[in-house]
Structure 1
Amino acid sequence: MATLHLHKIQYSIFLLAAFLLQFFTLQFPSLAYDPQDIYFIKCGSNNNVMVNQSKVYIGESNRNYPKTSFSSKNSYTETNQSTVPSPLYQTARIFHSESYYEFDTEPNNTYMVRFHFFSFSSATNLYTAKFNVFVSGFSLLQNFDAENTTKSVVIKEYFLKIVGKRFKIKFTPQISSFAFVNAIELFMLPVHLIPDSIQRFNYTGSTGQDFSTYSGGLHSRALETKHRLNVGGQTVDRISDNLMREWLPDDSYITDPQNAKNSNFFGGTIKKKEDDESDGLNSDQYTAPDTVYQTAKESKNGSKGLNISWSVPVEKNTDHFLRLHFCDIFNPQGLLTTFILNIYDQVVTSEVNSDADLSSAYYYNFVVRSDGSGLLKVSVVPNTTSAEPNAFLNGLELMKVIELSGSLPLYDLDSNSKKIRLPAVVGSVVGGLVLVSVVVVLFLWICKIRKQKPVENYKWLPTRASTGGSSHGRLTDNINLGLKISLRDLQLATENFNAKRIIGKGGFGNVYKGVLKNGMSVAVKRSEQDSGQGFPEFEAEIMVLSNIRHRHLVSLIGYCDERHEMILVYEYMEKGTLRDSLYSTNLTNFLTWKQRLEICIGAARGLHYLHKGAAGGIIHRDVKSTNILLDENLVAKVADFGLSRSGPLDQHSHVSTGVKGTFGYLDPEYFQSQQLTEKSDVYSFGVVLLEVLCARPAIDPSLPRDEVNLAHWGIFCKDKGILEDIVDPSIKGQINPNSLRKFSETVNKCLQEDGCDRPSMGDVLWDLEYALQLQRGIIHREPHEDSSTNASVSIQLPNIRRLPSLYSMSEMDDMSIGMVNESNSSADPVFSQLKNGDAR
């Protein structure tokens, strides 16, 4: 009864908060996106004109024209009274020297910029104009030739982020020519219409998937609209689109019309998320008009598996932003529809619509680099094994990515903007403060009540394909990282955790390869009930990886904590674990000695950052070859932070904790004393180095008793003088003797019995980089070396006390970790500046 009463109180509070939020949103509209807050400028005129009975373009010379400034030197206007497509194109501003328009803008927002060009009949012969158009740091139009603007209007449309309070558009005529413009539009876009973080689709000309994170993000570039297609429908004019975009039919771009038919859903309701706060996967009210989602091209006979393809002209070898719109308007029975999405005949993802998604609008975003054909190809292919074989597409948008061509000018961010209205600002601030105060009070009240609520036990619940059930998770009160991914999205990404998607299995559970709706390939690690690892490890992993970033630490994409599921989502590492590559019989996965050194250096950098770069220091506690992952370029990244612990405070040299780790890699000093230090990771990494050298597991029970433990076996080989039995036969002939000597010394130091005798991870990193320089021949030998000496006799491995057997070791359940302060620094101290005289 007490729990029920608490729920009623919380529900009442929720309703009150929702009412207040709606009230303040209505009272202070400046807090929300207002699509009417725009500049519509009729250039070369002092008269306003209404276009399409809806939009008023203000004459630039009108006293009500809300501009900051306008350069009119060496410019004039021309007027045409003959027939034109619209009154908007009866006037033009003409520039014979560099000139500009300047507008007041809201800093750090994405804007739409449109230029209208029409060469009406005039004494100036507008069609002879040749000019450039520049904005802050970007060249939007280069060598623009107005010759094609005589018969129809040419509209150039751009998306770009404006960082300052003023925005300048500069027109620069070419030599012996001039520039002109008939109309300009400038208005702010919804915050999440264009995402910043996006995946790049890399076309390799082969089957499979190849994705990478688009470096720098979209907001550091400008976008030029090239195509906007209403697939399966007619032209959608600017009146019908709430962002005044035009959508053209796709018929001239489809390459196999015999396989497709037009379908429509007129009169039906298209479901959209109106308050989507992510850059994510579902459409909101501004993404596309309902008309686009109410028409589509679908397979004429899906059961035959015939694909539908489109080829749209693009600039060659150039990055383009591609957005594909989908809405399942064909499936009134609610059967599962599955089909394949291809770009350049290369599979991107399997597209799935469950019954929960019928008539729901959504889209995929990609950055695609066009090939040399001058065409970008997209196709959808029915999955003939599904219950409802079909394939469809509702809309396509393609925008050219424009790179920064110069430094962004720093506009006067403190100047008084003529466009800012003081009452609106005051109202927004007051309204925001009142709303925040109310929310804080409600939050404190809820927290006070929750302290009286008894902790409830939970049971493991298996996941079903249904999307029903509570999505409330156990991390809600502890972590708010903005990384949460819905269980349903992960079910779709992994085909409901299909066994064929499993790419690995660890102590936590199975690891699946998945593809999110934005096309990003990910590794999905799902906990199992009997995994032996539970909520503390799950929480620790999120706490660590959400607060640190480094090139050599695997990135956490998100997590799921619904219905007692514990799922972690990471960037997908194409080459798998270091262990996989070391023991692979596939010659294409063979690692040379130089590659092995570079992998060890990368892993050492990641561990060094954990120890010294992250605030407070972090001890990994489970360093092993299966927790070092390799991307497509063999860049090593340390993974699996479920056992990690915060490092010791300044007044302590260790953390007292129950023993956890993996036998064979476990620090003997830590095992005996239960005192964890950074040097415990160093010992484990020393075992990894030895494993890299000989390409065999740290523990192999199938071998004779004396050879089961890799470290013991190494000691035996050293004592017998048969070092060649340690080195992987496949790389024996590759290793420079001096490089091997330095590497062996590093192993020797890492595996010292007493932690105080081991080097820091920074020293290990230095030594490994030195070994790599010796291998490359950049440094021919160390000062104390005799080049005639055989390096194979110089490896010194410490005596290691035997540990308890593999099967007698147990772990203690005392996992805890504190929040780590975020550090974005990925820079390590300089280790590559190696000089012969500095050798250690």
Structure 2
Amino acid sequence: METFRSSLFILSLLFLLLSAVHVFAQTYTPPDKYFVKCGSASNFVDDTGRIFVGDLNASDTFRFTPRNSRELNRQNESVRVFNQPAFYEFDVERDAFYIVRLHFSPKNFLADLSAALFDVSALGVFVLKNVNATNLIGNDSVSIKEFFLKINTEKFRIVFLPKSSSIAYINAIEVFPTPPDFIPSEAQEIISDGRNGSAARVSPFLVLHTIYRVNVGGPEILMEGDRLWRHWEKDDAYLLNPSSAVNSDIYSSTPQYKSKTDVYFAPDIVYKSAKQLNRNASSTRTSLNITWSFPSRKHTVNLLRVHFYDIIGESTNKFLVFDLYIGDSFSRTIDASMEVGGVYPFHLDFAVDSGESGLINVSVGPLGENQSVQFNAFLNGVEIMEAMDEHSKDPEISAPWLEKSKNKLVGLWVGLAVGVFGLICMLGCGIWFGLKWRKRKTEEASYTHTQWSPLSAFGGGSTHSRLTDRTTSSSPLPNLNLGLKFSLAEIKTATNNFNKKFLVGEGGFGKVYKGVLKNGMKVAVKRSQPGAGQGISEFEREITILSRIRHRHLVSFIGYCDEGLEMVLVYEFLEKGTLREHLYNSKLPPLAWKKRLEICIGAARGLHYLHKGSAGGIIHRDVKSTNILLDENLVAKVSDFGLSRAGPLDETHVSTDIKGTFGYLDPEYFRTQQLTEKSDVYSFGVLLLEVLCARPALNPTLPREQINLAEWGVRCKKMELLEEIIDPKLEGQIEPNSLRKFSDTIEKCLQEDAANRPTMADVLWDLEYALQLQQSTAPRMPHEDSETIGIGTSSTAIQRFGSIGSSVLRDDPDMSQDVDSHLTASEVFSQMKADHGR
């Protein structure tokens, strides 16, 4: 007997333990990954509080193929564009259901995205076919496509396949596991003619695509109102006979759920609201059925989920019993007291064939005449998910680089790897000894050359440098020995340990602080985000470019810090801030027209020097009002060379990934990925229009035709309405001929075809002429312009107006004073050596 009791106790304990394990297995915590902001190096927090990680910050657990893509940005939004097959890959849990959402928002970037045509594949199934901006977005600015996938691998890929010569794009991606038992393993099958079928397995349909999610009788529910960040629309648009139903009163109490995971099936508000029969509509019961009709693709199987919670009968403790109809013939009696005891919300799942009509009709109505029950019926919510079946199979023929390795090749690769390994070891040893010898010789030579410690491959001396841990394929900067390296301690002293009070700006590379060096010099300190792993190429590029240029209209480079995880650039501090601040900040005095012209001329001189005066030629690549800085005398200086491209500009173009700022971005460069100096000219044309109108390059709050300043300005110019969009603060200041010359220059810069745009030398000439027209008291004929003056005028006239075409380098005093292509980096900055630079 005692033995029996002991056995019973052990069995009871085991049962409790198994129950606890079961409960534990059923718990679910809303995940924090994966939420990806595509085409961005920065993270973004949405209205739900989720952190969308920029895909350029891809971690070890998710990755993508950047070689076939480019990123585009506008304000807080971004998009990744693919011109070849490419994929995102995520580390996931095997044999689990995942929610995948794809965000598409192509509008307001550039019109070119409207020409996109592509497919999207996942798990070998085309989840989206022939996607384009029209069928995807319609009249909305954003579209979110949601899928439920049974993933049977540990590496999950979403593949984007552009059609022929078109492109594909994606703005954001969500990939996270569903709660336990969220997708049923089987559901009641309903044949297309309405007949009952056997229990149909749902799980073999690896992909379900959400096509409807409806809150019946209640308000629209946005993502922040749902525990799984879903969107629920109102049901009224799907009612066949609106007079047959009325909305119930919103239930005041919070529903109680049968299990902890049941709360995720629908938000509380879905169960706190419903549609019920309008019993005043007719005296016959048969006409009082409430019917919702949902169009779908013909002959497709759909997972239909209907939600119920008897908030009508619960108040009287007399739970309603009524019929649910699907299609023409299928019916099922709904009795909440039998389903969940009447006190909990519940849902039912069905596998419904849409048949030849392509319609899925759902109805609720009272039981027959002989049933002694309450005369009512209700419904709380409807979800319909289309099963992606065999016709959607993706053979992956168009993306051979995605094919899996064949087992028969494994032995070959292993043998080859073993053979090559020994050779690599031998070569590696030889290279290592050679580099050690060369490094020692280089250090000895650099020590005799200068007293400053070199920036040897960004090594940072004895302090470990982040740039020695490069993961990019580019090589370190060659022969760079600026002697301008600051220690991190010196930078922290100058900025009071990066005190927020010293923060003066923030950009794509990082934050900008005002600082004061030991010798009293005021500096601007640009600090990358510590440990973000981004901006290494921009950091290198700025040092490389700024070490070889010097011009009064380019911001002066003071030094850098590369220590640990820190990347810091130090410039001269310009008291008056950015040009943009002076155009839009109402607290600052408005700039007079003459001063605006002088600022534009200064910026044009700086850009012209970059194009033609600097060794090798440089394309700035990010000309905009925030990158034009002003000193205490409002003299313009071009800044921020993190995106600049150095190299000979006598070639037709340079093929490169798209970089820049939307609104200023050259549309031809965007289309072709072929960068020329004329791309800077286009951006400068937008800047000139911004100076004239004092409004941003992009403003989504304006009417559609006015969002893009460049397009709007050119349209107004052609319609002779330009004077109506000029900054009101300039009223009465602009001499008409000066305005005509200035606006003509804008129109030339903004030509769609880069070949039709002027050079920066021509732009500079025209702006100087516009200034002369503004200052001149002698009347000038409207037909006078730079071209006519350049023909048949005296040499004194040319001298007066400064620079014409190729003569700019000789006649521009700024150029003659500041250009010396023979200076080395050390010589350029030799005059800056001070006790604070190391």
TM band (smaller chain): 0.3 to 0.5
* Normalised TM-score (structure 2): 0.43
Higher CA-based Rg: 2
Please identify which structure carries the higher helix content. 2
* Normalised TM-score (structure 1): 0.43
